[in-house]
DNA sequence: ATCTATTTTTAGTTTTGTCTAAATTTAATT
DNA sequence: AATTAAATTTAGACAAAACTAAAAATAGAT
């Protein structure tokens, strides 16, 4: 009993802050044993580099990151596993909010940021089951499986597609509220089939056909939309 | 914008600990402007009296409790309102877990203790709607409405019912895991109709008929079951 | 190789929420 | 009214997670 508690404490009792650091390091690429800089993490988390250093020591102590002073931070296997479990929870909750509670895709992230920290394996497995084991979240991001596997998709940025090619819109790179609202306003939704009609050399804008209608979209929009090749 | 933030900070940004104190004070009866003692709160929360004193000052500062040194603590109207909103969330989540995710009634409390602190008015309103606005939680406890109203029920402890009277089992007073598991094992469930056949003077145990079967239950069991009078 | 700008860490504080130990107030008993 | 026991508060400390300011290390440019 005492032994079990020691075990739980060391390996499972993560604070919300620790979980957020692991998630951020993973998103910055630190899962591939690539070293992430203190400043990069601080900027992403809107905190100070000195706070990142403090946390690096703590996470290193717990065996979740590899950290050498001045040399940056990367996730250990245990760190990757933990990060993926948080990301899995985040994305499943986002699907839940959209599918079961009629949230819009620009409303879910903020709430999922809270829900991802709820500690109950049974809860998230049941949510997964209720949603019929979705593979992607409302923004097209893949949902890691229970054992931490990622199902990557063969996708490209719309801006990189050649003229006359077709693709199905499957995800957004920028999932900020303003961008998502812009897409809604212009009836650009995941699942839509898009044909690249023409590209403008001057500003790199695209003329596309989507759901029967033709429109022009800027390079900034096109470079934040993922499409799956479809010909 | 600055004004709005000040407003939010003062009235809505509650920490998890503050919310738990308010909930506990309410459950101990401090909602009826009855003064609750420092020790009672400390015991209930498994913390030390000195910690309660510290929090009493903080909550008093925020206008959520009335606190006079050495004289005990009671909730202000704002405190009651906040406590009820936490209790509402707790109980709605418990219903959700049972109704939508097949949790058993002895599993839900622990998870609800976490979920009750999620900050999103829309989320809990949508959960309420998804559940079709339930009036009671899985343990028979009433769910406060959005505007903080309680629908009390005319209920009595089974141990206080007269011989030959009938009642429908509508709630548990003790909702500890062992008690709930005991009830499951003995097929005693909310909704069952119970007839009091006889009472034993010696140990105050009851002979009851329930769902066609007769059984004997101890006074301790009978004094932890609520029934609705059903003449 | 040296200097300099940038990055990163350290040292010392702050806030929140907890604790222990000591002091104080209240309540109960003689 | 004085004494004693119990309840409560204060004072001082600690851990977590953040901050600021200063020191140290690294990397880039001469
Ligand atoms: Mn998100
Ligand atoms: Mn997402
Ligand atoms: Mn409960
Ligand atoms: Mn309950």
Give the model's pLDDT for residue B37.
97
Provide, as residue numbers in chain A, all residues whose Cβ is less than 8 Å from the Cβ of B123. Answer: 97, 101, 111
**What residue spans of chain A are helical by DSSP H?**
2-11, 16-27, 38-45, 49-61, 77-101, 108-115, 121-130, 177-185, 219-222
Q: What is the pLDDT averaged over residues A23-52? A: 96
Render pLDDT for A132-180 as a digit per residue (tens, 0 to 9): 999 999 999 999 999 999 888 899 999 999 999 999 999 999 999 999 9
Q: Give the CA-to-C1' distance from B200 to D2 in angstroms.
A: 51
Region A63-85 average pLDDT: 97
Q: Which two tokens stand for residue B74?
A: 């009671």
Look over chain B and give the mean of its residue pLDDT values, rounded to a whole number.
Answer: 93
List, as one string, the DSSP characters of B170-199: EEES---HHHHHHHHHTT--TT-EEEEEEE
- Distance separating alpha carbons of residues A6 and A126, to the nearest angstrom: 28
Tokens 């003692």 correspond to B37
Rounded Cα distance between B183 and A123, Å, is 24
Nearest residue to D21, CA vs C1'? A50
Kind plus residue range of the DSSP H or E element containing B19: helix B16-27
Question: pLDDT grade, residue B227 (50/70/90)?
Answer: very high
Predicted confidence band of residue B33 (pLDDT cuts 50, 70, 90):
confident
Give me ligand 4 centre to Cα B16, in Å.
19
β-bridge partners, A227? A156, A169
Q: How far apart are CA B102 and CA A131, in angstroms?
A: 14
What pLDDT does residue B230 have?
56
Angle CA A93–A98–A100, to nearest 5: 85
pLDDT, mean of residues B176-199:
97
Q: What is the pLDDT of residues B109-137, one digit of tens each?
A: 999 999 999 999 999 999 999 999 999 99
Span A83-93, mean pLDDT?
Answer: 98
Question: pLDDT-based confidence at A119, cuts 50/70/90?
Answer: very high
Split at pLDDT 50, 70, 90, the class of A100 is very high
Give the distance, in angstroms, between the CA of residue B217 and the centroid of all CA atoms in the same chain: 24
CA distance B138 to chain A (A): 17
pLDDT number for residue A13? 87
- Min mean pLDDT across A117-131, B122-136, B148-162, B169-183 is at B148-162
Q: What average pLDDT does this structure show over A211-226?
A: 96
Nearest-CB residue to B100 (from A103, A119, A130) = A130
The pLDDT of residue B218: 97
With beta carbons less than 8 A apart as the criterion, state whether A47 and A63 touch. no
Residue A200 has pLDDT above 90, yes or no: yes
Q: What percent of chain B has pLDDT over 70?
A: 94
Number of C-beta neighbours around residue B85 at 10 A:
21
pLDDT interval class at B152 (50, 70, 90): confident
**Lowest-pLDDT choice from A145-154, B56-65, B80-89, B110-119:** A145-154
Quick check: helix, strand or coil at residue A173? coil
Task: Determine contact: B110 vs chain A, CB below 8 A.
Answer: yes
pLDDT at A5 over 80: no
Residues with CB under 5 A from ligand 4 (ion): B 94, 137, 139, 141
Strand-pair category, A73-75 with A206-210: unpaired
Length of chain A: 231
Tell me if the pTM is above 0.85: yes
Q: Which residues in chain B are contacts of A123 at CB distance < 8 A?
A: 97, 101, 111
Of the pLDDT bands very low, low, confident and very high (cuts 50, 70, 90), residue B7 is: very low
- pLDDT reported for residue B151: 84
Higher pLDDT, B152 or A6: B152
- Any idea which nucleotide's C1' is nearest the CA of B50? D9
Which residues have C-beta within 8 Å of that of residue B124, sequence separation ≥ 6?
B88, B89, B92, B118
B9 touches chain A (CB under 8 A): no
Provide the pLDDT confidence category of residue B9 given band limits of 50, 70 and 90. Answer: very low
Q: How far is CA B23 from CA A151, A165, B16, B87, in A?
A: 43, 60, 11, 7
Cβ-based neighbours of A113, under 8 Å, separated by 6 or more: A90
What's residue A9's pLDDT?
37
DSSP assignment of A70-105: TS-EEE-HHHHHHHHHHHHHHHHHHHHHHHHH---T
* Mean pLDDT rounded to a whole number for chain A: 93
Q: What is the DSSP letter of A12?
A: T
What domains, with CATH codes, occur in chain B?
3-75 (1.10.10.10), 155-229 (2.30.30.90)
**Per-residue pLDDT at B10 exceeds 80:** no
- Using left for φ > 0, alpha for ψ between -120 and 50, and beta otherwise, residue B60 falls in alpha
Percent of chain B as helix, strand, coil, to the nearest 5? 45, 20, 35
Question: Strand pairing partners for A219?
Answer: none
Residue A25, number of CB atoms within 10 A of its CB: 30
Can you tell me the distance from the alpha carbon of A134 to that of A92, in angstroms, rounded to the nearest whole number? 8
């Amino acid at each position: 009993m005492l032994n079990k508690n020691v075990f739980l404490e060391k390996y499972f009792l993560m604070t919300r802050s620790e979980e957020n650091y692991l998630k951020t390091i993973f998103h910055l690429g630190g899962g591939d044993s690539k070293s992430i800089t203190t400043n990069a993490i601080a900027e992403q988390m809107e905190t100070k580099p000195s706070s990142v250093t403090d946390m690096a020591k703590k996470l290193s102590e717990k065996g979740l990151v590899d950290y050498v002073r001045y040399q940056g931070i990367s996730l250990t296997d245990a760190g990757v596993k933990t990060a993926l479990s948080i990301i899995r929870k985040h994305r499943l909750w986002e699907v839940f909010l959209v599918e079961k509670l009629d949230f819009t895709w620009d409303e879910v992230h903020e709430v999922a940021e809270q829900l991802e920290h709820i500690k109950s394996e049974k809860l998230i497995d049941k949510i997964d089951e209720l949603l019929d084991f979705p593979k992607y979240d409302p923004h097209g991001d893949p949902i890691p499986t229970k054992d931490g596997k990622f199902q990557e998709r063969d996708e490209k940025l719309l801006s990189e597609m050649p003229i006359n090619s077709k693709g199905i819109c499957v995800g957004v790179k920028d999932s900020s509220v303003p961008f998502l609202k812009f897409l809604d306003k212009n009836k650009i939704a995941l699942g839509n089939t898009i044909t690249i009609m023409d590209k403008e050399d001057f500003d790199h804008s695209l003329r596309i056909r989507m759901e029967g209608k033709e429109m022009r979209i800027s390079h900034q929009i096109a470079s934040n939309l993922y499409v799956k090749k479809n010909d």
